[in-house]
Structure 1
Amino acid sequence: MISIPKDDPAAPDAFPAAPGAPSALETPASPSEVPKETSASLQMPEGLEFYAPNYICLTVFAVIFFPPLGLAAVYFSSKTTEANQNQDWEQAYINSGWTGWLDVFAILIGLAIIYVYTLYM
């Protein structure tokens, strides 16, 4: 890394804008000219601490034991992943809660069906 001494008169007071980024005075002519940033470039280490859990293992068991609720849990698990990537933490935690509850109920219903089937057949 190159360092510029503070007493150098040619040293800039502020860092220049990134290449290709519009300056504060320039505005893009149309929305298509706005640079699109990926979610990976927006991720900060602090943001990773807020990730909501997906309960992937429970979701797999839910699909195996009781597919109707298990498939609903897969839907909410995918929504949780999408919200985590977009850093929409509120939606991520809401979807994660739905995923967890649907997983638990699907597994319990599936085990109850297996239990009743083996008990009375």
Structure 2
Amino acid sequence: MVAKPFHCLLCDKSYANKTSLVAHERKFHKQNIIIPHQHILSIPLYSSYCHFRGLFIDAIQSRLGSHRSTEGKKTIQVHCEENLVYFIFREQEIFTFQVTSYKYNCVFKGQVSVE
């Protein structure tokens, strides 16, 4: 019997390699909002929220631009404390967590406006 050391933290499945585990997660836990380690995340300080808000706004403004040629899907990354991301976005439908790659994802959609 082949050893299956790669266990899904969200269900009872095990896999022989990480690639298979990642494929399983993408197929069966695509919209996952379960954070297996959430019990160790502390509530962030208000000053941390304020700092994150500034970083987040700056990142959005630098990626969006104001010219029509910049329309379309944009990806931004904001490096911050994990507990901030979790406590700010945890109840949003746009929030997901990829267990195997340990990444949070939030997708925001908006409309084009003309001033």
TM over 0.5: no
TM range (shorter): under 0.3
Q: Which has the larger radius of gyration?
A: 1
TM-score normalised by the chain length of structure 2 = 0.23
TM-score normalised by the chain length of structure 1 = 0.22
Higher normalized strand content (fraction of residues) = 2
